[in-house]
Amino acid sequence: MKRLAWNDLDGPARDAALARPVQACTADLREGVQRIIAEVRRHGDAALLRFTASYDRCELDRLEVAQAEFDEAEAALEPALKAAIREAAGRIELFHRTAAPRPVAVDTAPGVRVERVLRPVACVGLYVPAGSAPLPSTALMLGVPARIAGCAEVVLCSPARADGRCDPAVLYAARVVGVHRVFKLGGAQAIAAMAYGTASVPRCDKLFGPGNAWVTEAKLQVSTDPQGAAIDMPAGPSEVLVVADAQAAPAFVAADLLSQAEHGPDSQVLLVSPSAGLIDAVAAEVERQCAALPRSGIAREALAHSRLIEVDSLEQALEVSNRYAPEHLILQVAEPRTWLARVESAGSVFLGAWTPESVGDYASGSNHVLPTYGYARSHSGVSVASFQKQISVQELTPAGLRAIGPCTATLAAAEQLEAHRRAVTLRLAALDERAGVSVA
């Protein structure tokens, strides 16, 4: 990991210090995704079967997972894993149900009732990767809020293994959270299928979930097509920023850094600390722990573009963090909650030495589908609200229109929208006539 002293850097050097790895969005990638989407739109299931044979190296006779496959997956899993999936789903449900938006109704003036009503997105598509490692936790993170929101149809796509089956833990998690249909599809072709629909795969209104560069590019392309589908958020590689003081445990900090570095070679991890001694100790501990990891090769690639940044104070450390806007922010400092008010931009925050980022990935109850690549400046993680539409409603009595009609008419006239003004003044005149008031 490259070591830097923040106050020795000028403006451009600071920008470079916080730069993410360049996302692989080459012309070849864009054109390749465009071709896949076009093929799926043109040839439907036939294109999906062909892509599955080519990319996943398995021949399928049907794309949808049969009920018998769910039963076999459940029987194949260890009881401890099934129990952990159910336990995590329960906590995710508790938090998301508690945090879900509520209908609102308020009288903004006498006789003027304004409301917000909630409606689920009708059909949603969930993408669960299964590249270097299957992610049943993502099925939980997406499926639980979709169920709470009340989505009428929840579709999930996950790549098939070489034996033509989806990962059994993913299937079990999908069953636990009530996903309606699962398809053996991965990559850009899965996104295209859910966005536009085929004979087998329903067309979805909104797509959710992480993926590789091909999946990310496909989501971006379909989200800009009026005939495509909305998406949860822009996505990039996993990342974590740890703010630590001199009292932090180097082994804990190193473990948290490596937990994100092992995600992929394009992941990025940063330590920001005012303690030079802590930075030294963490650097040594990262090296020691990394050597013992099964995915050490992947982690080392990520560490090559990661940073150890020395600052003057914890105040400055939080300034650096807000500038970076990390997906995950860990505050391994004394009295971490006192610093929470300083956090302006982060996908998810982890307070104190006993709160590893891993619990948020799996079992604390928060969601792990979060904005990356700096999008935490303007985006939030997935929640029940992500699967809902918020519709405003207003209802006026005659007295209500008398109360706010003149204000409305004045503003409409200022904007030179005469039809807007008359829609109000005609009604006010009708009310005056009904009341016997002279309008001469």
Q: What secondary structure does DSSP assign to 329-343, as a single string? A: EEEESSSGGGGGGG-
Residues with Cβ < 8 Å from 431, sequence gap 6 or more? Answer: 398, 401, 402
Tell me what pLDDT residue 130 has. Answer: 86
Binding-site residues from annotation for substrate: 238, 260, 263, 328, 361, 415, 420
Tell me what pLDDT residue 60 has. Answer: 95
Tell me what pLDDT residue 24 has. Answer: 58
Q: Which residues pair with 271 in a beta bridge?
A: 242, 308
Say if strands 268-273 and 206-208 run parallel, antiparallel, or are unpaired.
Answer: unpaired
Say if strands 348-351 and 388-396 run parallel, antiparallel, or are unpaired.
Answer: unpaired
Tell me what pLDDT residue 226 has. Answer: 96
CA distances from 384 to 96, 199, 347, 440 (A): 6, 29, 16, 55
Question: Please, are residues 90 and 120 in contact by the beta-carbon 8 Å criterion?
Answer: no
Q: Which residues pair with 268 in a beta bridge?
A: 239
Question: Please, are residues 199 and 183 in contact by the beta-carbon 8 Å criterion?
Answer: no
Active site amino acids? 327-328
3-state secondary structure of 270: strand
Q: Which residues pair with 127 in a beta bridge?
A: 157
Say if strands 348-351 and 230-231 run parallel, antiparallel, or are unpaired.
Answer: unpaired
Number of separate helices (H) and strands (E) present in the chain: 16, 14
CA-to-CA distance for 291 and 299, rounded, in angstroms? 10
Q: Which two structure tokens, joined as six digits, stand for 281?
A: 């100790």
Taken in order of first residue, the domains within the chain and their CATH numbers are 2-23+236-365 (3.40.50.1980), 27-99+116-230 (3.40.50.1980), 397-434 (no CATH)
The total of other beta-carbon atoms located within 10 Å of residue 404's CB is: 16
CA-to-CA distance for 49 and 171, rounded, in angstroms? 20
Backbone angles phi, psi at 5, to 5 degrees: -105, 115
Question: Hunting for tokens 């070489």 — which residue is that?
Answer: 162
Q: What is the pLDDT along the chain (440 residues), one digit of tens a residue?
A: 999 999 999 999 999 999 998 765 688 899 999 999 999 999 999 999 999 999 999 999 999 999 999 999 999 999 999 999 999 999 999 999 999 999 999 999 999 999 999 999 999 999 999 876 789 999 999 999 999 999 999 999 999 999 999 999 999 999 999 999 999 999 999 999 999 999 999 999 999 999 888 999 999 999 999 999 999 998 888 999 999 999 999 999 999 999 999 998 999 999 999 999 999 999 999 999 999 999 999 999 999 999 999 999 999 999 999 999 999 999 999 999 999 999 999 999 999 999 999 999 999 999 999 999 999 999 999 999 999 999 999 999 999 999 999 999 999 999 999 999 999 999 999 999 998 876 54
Question: Please, are residues 389 and 205 in contact by the beta-carbon 8 Å criterion?
Answer: no
Which amino acid is located at 386 in the chain? S
Tell me what pLDDT residue 134 has. Answer: 83
Tell me what pLDDT residue 438 has. Answer: 61
Binding-site residues from annotation for NAD(+): 127, 189, 212
Which amino acid is located at 100 in the chain? A
CA-to-CA distance for 420 and 399, rounded, in angstroms? 19
